[in-house]
Each structure stands twice: as structure tokens, then as C-alpha cells.
Amino acid sequence: MKRLFVLLSVAAAILVSCSKTTDGIIRTEVPARPAGQTDMLGFAADPIDTVRVGFVGLGMRGPGAVQRFTHLQGVKIVALCDVLPENVEKCQKTLREAGLPEAAAYSGDTDVYKELCAREDLDLVYVCTDWSHHVPVALCAMENGKHAAIEVPAATSLQEIWDLINTSERTRKHCIMLENCCYDFYEMTALNMAQQGLFGEIIHVEGSYHHCLEPFWPEYWNNWRLDFNRTHKGDLYPTHGLGPVCQVLNIHRGDQMKTLVAMETSSRLGIPTYKKITGKDIDSFESGDHIMTMISTKLGKTIQIQHDVMTPRPYDRMYQLVGTKGYAQKYPVPGFSFEPEQLPETIDHENLSGHSFVPADVRDALMEQYKPGIVKEIGEYAKEVGGHGGMDFIMDYRLVYCLRNGLPLDIDVYDLAEWCCLAELGSISIANGSAPVEVPDFTRGGQDKIKGFSYAFAK
């Protein structure tokens, strides 16, 4: 009875109905698709010759996005919005230094984004706010006829996820999550190698976000990020680790995440960290120091995702692909391992085995041979522009390219949903003794409509 009470308490707290069935799996409610709506799978909007963009949130990530957009062709920066006018002015300076006209400025309160979204001369609203404003701004943008691009994590609850899905489907506007790690040079190359069959069949993948944020906590406006960790459980920042591996596994493009189990350590560092940063005493800190989520898929594959922003563990996203004929990892050191017969004839096979990493020269030759066309085209320029080594610029380039050419985006609203849902589903699992929780079919029946992940290109 106590177990059921915990389950019901969690469900009441998160305003999402869930139930535990006789098979021991907890299931959350999947709302019926409203009448007249259709899915956004493979959706392509009309081409936009010049993408007119407004930026909302110019604190930590926003200024970098504005700077990158000054290097893109076919865009016009129309509007800038932030609570703090000095943040807007900082980005106006970026425009002036790039030889561009100043943008319309919005600042002063947390609702001023509504004025930006109501403008008739915008095509895209690029959201870089604190997490609590991601969804309100994106919904407002789509309701006003704009596409929405949202920093990670785009949503932090199932209710927010379903609101984004339903609004995108109803308004026929793109809703993309800006998951930059999907455009990391190594991840894109390893994805290409996996799609070419070098690793055999991928059966297990791992990803993570290990990043000690102690030096950065004071930089978050009004302490919003540490406060969020203080009041929430589950993997609160799963998308850097999960997004790239889901593309490898063709999630909702032939395979489907079915159930997850989450567990966490107790919080040893939360309370003292909060005291150190804010000077305030608190009695509890919800987020564990280390959170691990394990996921099974419809095709019998497994995913492990980890989250740790509290301990001094070195930065690590893991990115590990386990195949029947080979293995790839980016962290802690990049490496590949293969059965020798998997490698192309252009690679020296001498002294290679599946029991150790290939030598550095072989690894580098493979990275060059399987470099994706996108990286060949703009990789060097992306490094010059910057943004986490260039991957941020490739992400923005692909977004604008697809909008200008009327193509489906690389990351759709269902990717957003699947990659963000670990937070709340994981918290339900943890609250119920790490019980299995079903991952909803956010496509509502369209998991096999698209066959395999791919990038769209103009013909």
C-alpha cells in the first residue's frame, strides 16, 4: 500500500496520470491526438528565402547564438529579447561589429517575449532562456505562426512535452531542440560509420553528461539552474548523451524506446553546494549526485545514460557504440575496435583485432575516410566561427539550410520528446524503487513511418 501511495503522490505532483499494471510496468497517460491534427513526421514547411530570426534569452548561450548567426547566409537578425537590457545591448554590439544593423530590442520583464513573438516579420524564434521559460516562449512563437528552436532541455515535464507536440502538430510549425552534440565531428563520423555497417549491428549504446558545474553555478540568472536541481529528481539534462545515440539506433525511425529504469545516489554535495553558492541553509536537495537511466528498445537493444554535475569527475559524454562487429567511443579517449574483416581495404589490417583499439593512425584514417559530407563542406569554417569546437555552428547551419530549402529538420518534435522525457519518467522510476516505466509513443502510432535516420538535402 505504501508503494501505491508513493506512486499516486508522484502522479499528483507532476499532474500526469500514471498507473502500475499487473506486469509491474508503470505507464503514463498518452493523450489522444486532437481531432484534425496529423503528425509532424517528415514534415517540410514552405521554403524561406531569408530566415528572419528573433532571439529570446541573451544571458549565457544566447550571445554565442547571435554571433554564429552573423556568419550565416540567408538570415536576418530582426529582434533581440532579454529581461536585462544590458544583455540586449551586448548582442547589439555584436551586430554592429559584424557590420549589420541593430535589431529591435525587447527587455524589462519576463513577459516581454510575447511582443517579439507577435511581430509579423519573423520566421523563427530561437529560445535560449532559463528552462522554465523554454516552453512558454516556444508555444507563444508557434501560436503566432513562427517556427521554434529551443535550447536543451527543451522541456522538463511530460505536460510540457505534450503541449509542444500538440501545438506543433496543430500549427504546422517546426519545433526543434538545439541539441548541438548531434553535430559533434566525432559523433557525426561515427554515425556515418555505423550506417555504413562498420560496427555490425549496434546493440548497445551509452551516453552521459558528466560536467562539474561548481565553477558555473553563480553565472545562472537568479540561481535558476541550481534551484531546479534542488527541487527535481531524475536525469535533468539527458539530451547531450541521449540524442546522438538515438540517431544511431533510429529511434522512432524503425526502433522505439520501450521501458526505462532509473536510479540515483543520495545527494551528498547538494546541500553544501547550495550553502556555498547562495549562503542559504536548506534541509533537502532532491537531485542525486549521480543518476543513471537504463532503457530497452522494441528491437531488443539497450541504452545507458548518466548524469553528474556535482562531483569533480572530468567532463565526459561517453558516446559509446557497441556493435556485433565493432566498437566506438569518444570518451575518455576516442577509439575504435573492429573485427579485422570489417575494415575497408584502404586500411592496414596488420596486427588488428577486436581485443584492443586500432592504432591512432588507423583511427585518424577512418575519421577522414568516413567524414560526412556536411563536415567536409563546412567543418573548417565551423571551427573558425566556433561554438563548442564548431558543432554549434553546424547545428545552426543545418537548421537554416533546411528552412531555406523547405526540407524536414534533422531533429523533430518527437526527438525532443524522447530525449527530454527521461527527467520525469526517471523521477517516477526512482520514487517507486527503480521500477520500470514505459516510454510513451510520442508519435502516437508513427514509429515506423520513417525508415532510418538521415539528413535531408536539396536536390
CATH code, 144: 3.40.50.720
- Average confidence score pLDDT of the chain: 94
Same domain assignment for residues 278 and 145: no
Question: What is the reported pLDDT for 341?
Answer: 78
- State yes or no: pLDDT of 1 exceeds 50: no
Q: Do residues 280 and 351 share a domain?
A: yes
The answer to whether residue 301 is domain-embedded is yes
3-state secondary structure 333-376: CCEEEECHHHCCCCCCCCCCCCCCCCCHHHHHHHHHHCCCHHHH
- 310 and 261 in one domain? yes
Q: DSSP for 215-267?
A: TTGGGSGGGHHHHHHHH--S-SS-HHHHHHHHHHTTBTTTB-EEEEEEEE---
pLDDT the model gives residue 7: 39
Q: What is the pLDDT of residues 387-422, one digit of tens each?
A: 999 999 999 999 999 999 999 999 999 999 999 999
pLDDT at 11 over 60: no
In a domain, 190, yes or no: yes
pLDDT tens digit sequence for 411-457: 999 999 999 999 999 999 999 999 999 999 999 999 999 999 999 99
Q: Is residue 246 part of a domain?
A: yes
Q: What is the pLDDT of residues 280-326, one digit of tens each?
A: 999 999 999 999 999 999 999 999 999 999 999 999 999 999 999 99
Per-residue pLDDT at 12 exceeds 70: no
210 and 87 in one domain?
A: no
Under 8 Å between Cβ of 267 and 286 = yes
Q: What is the pLDDT of residue 353?
A: 58
CA–CA dist 229, 220 (Å, integer): 13
Residues 293 and 199 in one domain: yes
Kindly state whether residues 129 and 187 are assigned to the same domain. no
Query: To which residue does cell 518527437 refer?
Result: 414
Based on the fold, state whether residues 99 and 242 are members of the same structural domain: no
Which value, in Å, is the radius of gyration of the alpha carbons in the chain? 22
Residue 2's pLDDT is: 35
Is the pLDDT confidence value at 8 over 50? no
Q: Number of folded domains in the chain?
A: 2
pLDDT at 272 over 90: yes
Task: For residues 102 and 204, state if they share a domain.
Answer: no
Alpha helices in 144-216 (DSSP H): 158-171, 185-195
Q: What is the C-alpha separation between 40 and 443, in angstroms, rounded?
A: 8
* Residue 385 within any structural domain of the chain: no
Residue 22 lies in a domain: no
Domain that holds residue 94: 51-151
Are 135 and 204 found together in one domain? no
pTM attached to this predicted model: 0.94
What string of DSSP letters covers 78-90?
EEEE-SSHHHHHH
Same domain? For 123 and 234 the reply is no
Residues 229 and 360 in one domain: yes
In a domain, 45, yes or no: no
Q: Domain containing 324 — which CATH number?
A: 3.30.360.10
